[in-house]
């Protein structure tokens, strides 16, 4: 028997450090039966690749914010290029760049938010 292995304990539990425990009172007190992980990290034993310490809405919000920032930067670049190509100046150029930044930011943010699940 390997060192540190107790009777009835398998090697896979030691290697992955995953042991079953009963959920605490705080983990069972929220209405997580409808949407697991929506209000809190619901994982009691971590058997998935997703990090269990963040609630689902926080993961989606973080993904959306990163996608929106990246999309807005790309929108500024492409909006500026398209506006200058069309011959826009001053207010029209700022309006065109703003529309391109917001629209591409929302698109990127939506897909990054959904992809972060």
pTM of this prediction?
0.55
Contact between residue 59 and residue 97 where contact means Cβ atoms under 8 Å apart: no
Residue 31, pLDDT score:
53
Distance CA 40, CA 46 (A): 14
DSSP, residue by residue, 93-112: HHHHHHHHHHHHHHHHHHHH
Contact between residue 38 and residue 55 where contact means Cβ atoms under 8 Å apart: yes
Q: At which residue do the structure tokens 């959904």 appear?
A: 114
CA proximity to 111, closest of 53, 68, 81: 68
Contact between residue 45 and residue 21 where contact means Cβ atoms under 8 Å apart: yes
Give residue 56's pLDDT band: very low, low, confident or very high (50, 70, 90).
Answer: confident
Give residue 83's pLDDT band: very low, low, confident or very high (50, 70, 90).
Answer: very high
């Amino acid at each position: 028997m390997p060192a540190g292995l107790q009777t009835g304990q398998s090697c896979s539990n030691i290697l992955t450090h995953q042991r079953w425990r009963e959920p605490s009172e705080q983990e069972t007190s929220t209405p997580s039966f409808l949407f697991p992980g929506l209000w809190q990290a619901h994982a009691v034993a971590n058997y998935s690749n997703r990090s269990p310490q963040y609630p689902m809405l926080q993961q989606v919000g973080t993904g959306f914010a990163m996608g929106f920032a990246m999309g807005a930067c790309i929108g500024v670049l492409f909006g500026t290029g398209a506006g200058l190509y069309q011959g826009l100046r001053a207010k029209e150029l700022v309006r065109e760049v703003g529309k391109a930044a917001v629209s591409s930011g929302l698109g990127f943010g939506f897909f990054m938010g959904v992809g972060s699940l």
